[in-house]
Chains A and B, each alone.
Chain A
């Protein structure tokens, strides 16, 4: 659609290879998004490790999922925060 509008306005949308590359980039995100549960678990553990440096989180309620729609794939994480770590806030200033 955007391409169509651009064409109506006489805008050049660039060479076809740019289109090819962009389309490939998107489709491969989808293709590669079928990651294994083991990898998702590893990702969760790593996330907990990093975030725990800054705040206390409720690990049991942590949710990490890959969500897809037509245009993009997003990593959606729902991480309940129990407490901020005060000394880290101070160190950061």
Chain B
């Protein structure tokens, strides 16, 4: 029996889709059978982030409305044969699916897969209600900005009202240099405000843009900081205790020189 995990945030553009792609790929890399479900009907993107946009035949709405069987709509990943994508429909809207249909779908996915990662659309309307309907647990993605934190707070309230208790937080796009000079809220500030458990911190990293350009999730990039952050999150999802990465701002040349001559 598998587990359904919804990745949500309230605010758009904080990295739900990137997070979903990386968590899903990370879990598949560890040998689990994983399906990624894009519930952002009308604005699908998980397919391009995964580099699978050319293979879509059927979509989520085809499955929930009975136009095709689940197996027909699942797209096999290029890299892992135990990783699949169920794409969103692009020509319909959020009302094409209802929460009851999503619950049925989630139950079917749990039979087949170890993990189903649900990429939730932005907002708190039907798209959100669909995405959380069949979920067993939730991950809230938030960037260190007032708007994202405020929306995350609202989402946490709505998740708990829907009896999805103890959502976990990913702080995304943290910029250690800005934190250091006091111009960005740090991990403790955000946890203090949102009062939920942290499951990972992903630093702002250019490699995310590059990997998204290529359609290859950063979690497979062994050099980048973001890749390492996602690998750690993946292991935490499995219940492992993994320490947070050291995100100290990379030292500038002056810092290194100062250290060299001994003035600190």
Contacts and interface: CB of A to CB of B under 8 A. Distances in A.
B153 to A, nearest CB: 5
Contacts of A21: 185, 189, 192-193
Nearest to A28: B153
B68 interface: no
Contact of B154 (A15, A16, A25, A31): A31
Main secondary structure of the interface of A (DSSP, over half): helix
B182 A17 contact: yes
Interface residues of B, number: 17
Q: What band does the interface of chain A fall in when counting residues whose beta carbon is under 8 Å from B?
A: 10 to 19
Contacts of B192: 21
B149 interface: yes
B150 A15 contact: no
A63 B260 CA distance: 68
Given A16-B183, A18-B182, A20-B185, A27 B150 contact: yes
Main secondary structure of the interface of B (DSSP, over half): helix
B157 A32 contact: yes
Contacts of A18: 182
B162 interface: no
Contacts of B145: 20
Interface string B146-166: 100110011001000000000
B221 interface: no
Interface in A11-38: 14-18, 20-21, 23-25, 27-28, 31-32
Given A31-B153, A32-B157, A25 B193 contact: yes
A23 B185 contact: no
Nearest to A36: B161
B181 interface: yes
B150 A17 contact: no
B183 A23 contact: no
B193 to A, nearest CB: 6
Contacts of A32: 153, 157
Given A21-B189, A21-B193, A28-B193, A15 B153 contact: no
Given A17-B186, A17-B189, A24 B181 contact: no
Contacts of A15: 181-183
B184 interface: yes
A16 B153 contact: no
A45 B181 CA distance: 47
A20 B146 contact: yes
In the complex, the 8 A-B pairs of residues with the closest C-beta atoms, listed nearest first: A15-B182, A16-B183, A17-B185, A20-B146, A24-B146, A21-B189, A17-B182, A28-B153
Given A17-B189, A24-B193, 10 more contacts: A15-B181, A15-B182, A15-B183, A17-B184, A17-B186, A20-B146, A21-B192, A24-B149, A31-B153, A32-B153
Interface of A: 14-18, 20-21, 23-25, 27-28, 31-32
25 contacts: A14-B182, A15-B181, A16-B182, A16-B183, A17-B179, A17-B182, A17-B183, A17-B184, A17-B185, A18-B182, A20-B146, A20-B185, A21-B185, A21-B189, A21-B192, A24-B146, A24-B150, A25-B193, A27-B146, A28-B150, A28-B153, A31-B150, A31-B153, A31-B154, A32-B153
